[in-house]
Structure 1
Amino acid sequence: MSAGGNIPYHLRQNKAIERNLFVDMLTRVGRYCNISDFRYIGFGGPFLEDFKHLHSALRISDMISLEMDTNVYRRQQFNRPISCIELRNESSDEFLSNYEFDSNKNAIVWFDYATTQIGSQLAELQQLVEKLAHGDIFKITVNASPVSLGCSNAGAKILEQRAAVAVNRFGEYGPGDILPDDVSTKKYPSLLLRALINSAKKGLSGDSGVVLYPLSAFSYSDGQQMLTFSGILLHEDEIGVFEDQTRLRSWPFFNECNEDPKSISVPALSAKERVYVESLLPGATADQILHDLDYYVGADQNVAKAEMSNFISFYRLFPWYSRIVL
């Protein structure tokens, strides 16, 4: 919230793809229940872009934005794009302490954390799930850069020291053992995902009536590596009907979180490159595209191939940015 109050999220392509994936997923969940009747609660930031997007795509008209930075809150009052957003000048912790969820109104809650305080964020997720009810949906975004664990001057033992810091910060939510390799840049999002799932399940430990049904998990980087995890609370005996009606298991990006988060990292293409690459899709492979271009876009050829493969998966959700005259 406050730490992210001045970040232009609306210009970050990987995050924009992830936002579009969230809407795509909610559209599919909408085959089972009427998503437009849900209340959306999240961190709006100065421009409230996510709120505008969810209202436009899903017709949600009951929304609450949380912002603890007073200056950003004032910007929100000026920038509020639609009248159905209730603006609150409070932190997520204050909100959870004071707010009573409506038993007759399902909720979608997205806590998009900009800070690196993973210990308090895990505790807050447990508190959130304790307050949610059957049919409610939550999404959590956290910093997944192992640099956030510190120890930048540890030399060859940096992973060992970061693993020790992770054990301390994760506390009761961490897995039984955290190995040095678990806090490498590649594997840290998977470790965080396990901790988030443990936190959500602890939030349900006092309610035998509902279970956690994971929906998606993505990692992406727009300056910092991030992890995002989504789930819904369901009665165990309705999971089969939910899967049949939503057909989420046929969604290419479904992740019941027994596997690593799917990476969202697409190449930084010029407008001309993008138009050319899209003209070859959906039939071309990453190898064919790179062969036709006769050069690669990325840190090296392996990275370029991986990012081009991601572009093939996500190009329909990839935003266009351009200058306009108002």
Structure 2
Amino acid sequence: MLVDVFRRLTPFQPVEDYNYVGFGSVWFSDFILFHKILGIKNMVSIEESESARERFEENRPFQIRMEFSNSSQALPKLDWTQRTIAWLDYDDTLVTSMLQDVRSIASRAVSGSILAVSVQCMKAKALIEYHEENDSSKASAIERFRQTFGRERVPDGARDEDLAGWPYGALCRKILTTEIELALSDRNTSPETAMRFIPICEIEYQDDARMTTIVGIFVTPEDMARYESCSFSKLDFMPLENKAIRIEMPKLTVRELRKIEQQLPSVEGTELSLGSIPLSDAKKFCRMYRYFPNFAVMEA
């Protein structure tokens, strides 16, 4: 899905000429995908674990530049004078250092650059600590959360219930977007430096844990026509309303997947022949079939 978003950046420049910044870990899955499909060559992977340098180097595919330091130290040192796609794909729940990273990029990125941020949204640390202490006389979980992240970032109507699951994901996306806007308000001191962050999409999904992602683009007033030419809203996975895209994996056998695939893309007004296939799972697959993983089944 992100590949399809990035493909549409050509009104700014050929996507293969973009820089890519990410957290490759030992798998470098995003780097492999973006290099092979999009042709991006200038890639930087930030890795905090200096002690595992040898393992990262041995697993590094292609000529990926490695930066062994934490992201807060590495990001300001990178070249932001070129258009960049940055995906800060964190494993953990939101912490203030992540906001520092987001602010660092927002204060430097040039027009046409993309920022994606992923965080875990199972349960906020403030909520976990509140339940562990089990003392109603102490500050509520949401009050602790406000003290950590600042009242200007947390909506007035937020409650303890918003610190777990998908509501927490929505709150994280709001806080991240607010931090970007705060950074841009400091940057936009004159018309010559004006920059906007325009959200492209928000995504919710679950693998080992519930995760949420925001994706947006930095655009100057002079480049608004280029942005409009990207037509991000025409991507077929974009919701009709400004809602988060919920990626839900259908529970279907390989045979059932193939049966539905043979009928796609469906013609408007026609119904799929499903037989015993559950309609709810079929609908999940139809919404995301172009992005669904391919599986090989081995039988002895």
Q: TM-score range by the shorter chain?
A: 0.7 to 0.9
- CA shift in 2, pair 1:253/1:168, >3 Å: farther
1:118-176: CA deviations, max 9, x gaps? Answer: 22212321122112222221111111112654145689x9xx94433432333242223
2:75 counterpart residue number: 96
2:90 counterpart residue number: 113
1:310 and 2:284 aligned: yes
TM-aligned CA deviation for residue 54 of structure 1: 0.4
Letter in 1 for 2:291: L
**Number of residue pairs matched?**
285
- Does structure 1 retain, via aligned residues, the 8 Å contact 2:80–2:109? no
- State the TM-score, normalizing by the size of structure 2: 0.84
- Partner-residue secondary structure (3-state), 2:165: coil
- CA shift in 2, pair 1:95/1:58, >3 Å: same
- Does structure 1 retain, via aligned residues, the 8 Å contact 2:122–2:209? yes
1:212-249: CA deviations, max 9, x gaps? Answer: 11111101010211111111111124324421x21222
- Mapped to 1, the partners of 2:17 and 2:275 lie a distance apart of 48
- Mapped to 2, the partners of 1:94 and 1:72 lie a distance apart of 18
- Mapped to 2, the partners of 1:87 and 1:131 lie a distance apart of 20
- Mapped to 2, the partners of 1:255 and 1:313 lie a distance apart of 10
TM-aligned CA deviation for residue 177 of structure 1: 3.2
- Mapped to 2, the partners of 1:67 and 1:201 lie a distance apart of 27
- Partner-residue secondary structure (3-state), 2:115: strand
- Mapped to 1, the partners of 2:122 and 2:19 lie a distance apart of 31
- Partner-residue secondary structure (3-state), 1:205: helix
- Does structure 1 retain, via aligned residues, the 8 Å contact 2:196–2:220? yes
1:34-71: CA deviations, max 9, x gaps? Answer: 21111111100102111111011111100111111135
- CA shift in 2, pair 1:153/1:309, >3 Å: farther
1:265 and 2:248 aligned: yes
Letter in 1 for 2:148: R
- Does structure 1 retain, via aligned residues, the 8 Å contact 2:11–2:226? no
Letter in 1 for 2:68: N
- Mapped to 2, the partners of 1:266 and 1:166 lie a distance apart of 32
- Mapped to 2, the partners of 1:259 and 1:214 lie a distance apart of 10
- Does structure 1 retain, via aligned residues, the 8 Å contact 2:204–2:211? yes
- CA shift in 2, pair 1:170/1:322, >3 Å: farther
Query: Which piece of structure 1 moves more, 246-255 or 85-94?
Result: 246-255
Identical aligned residues as a percent: 23
Q: How do 1:209-288 and structure 2 match up within 5 A?
A: 209-243=194-228, 245-254=229-238, 259-283=242-266
Higher alpha-carbon Rg = 2
1:301 counterpart residue number: none
Residue among 18, 21, 39 paired with 1:38 = 18
- Mapped to 2, the partners of 1:182 and 1:236 lie a distance apart of 35
Letter in 1 for 2:231: R
- CA shift in 2, pair 1:35/1:255, >3 Å: farther
- State the TM-score, normalizing by the size of structure 1: 0.77
- Mapped to 2, the partners of 1:250 and 1:34 lie a distance apart of 19
- CA shift in 2, pair 1:280/1:228, >3 Å: same
- CA shift in 2, pair 1:113/1:290, >3 Å: farther
TM-aligned CA deviation for residue 189 of structure 1: 1.7
- Mapped to 1, the partners of 2:46 and 2:14 lie a distance apart of 24
Q: How do 1:114-263 and structure 2 match up within 5 A?
A: 114-146=91-123, 148=125, 149-150=127-128, 151-152=130-131, 161-171=140-150, 172-208=152-188, 209-243=194-228, 245-254=229-238, 259-263=242-246
Unaligned runs of 5+ in 1: 1-20, 297-303
- Does structure 2 retain, via aligned residues, the 8 Å contact 1:215–1:254? no
- Does structure 1 retain, via aligned residues, the 8 Å contact 2:111–2:223? no
Question: Greater helix percent: which structure?
Answer: 1
- Does structure 2 retain, via aligned residues, the 8 Å contact 1:214–1:255? no
- CA shift in 2, pair 1:192/1:147, >3 Å: closer
TM-aligned CA deviation for residue 192 of structure 1: 1.4
- Does structure 2 retain, via aligned residues, the 8 Å contact 1:112–1:140? yes
1:78-107: CA deviations, max 9, x gaps? Answer: 122212x1112111012034x04242x211
Letter in 2 for 1:141: S
Q: How do 1:50-89 and structure 2 match up within 5 A?
A: 50-83=30-63, 85-89=64-68
- Partner-residue secondary structure (3-state), 1:122: helix
- Partner-residue secondary structure (3-state), 1:322: coil
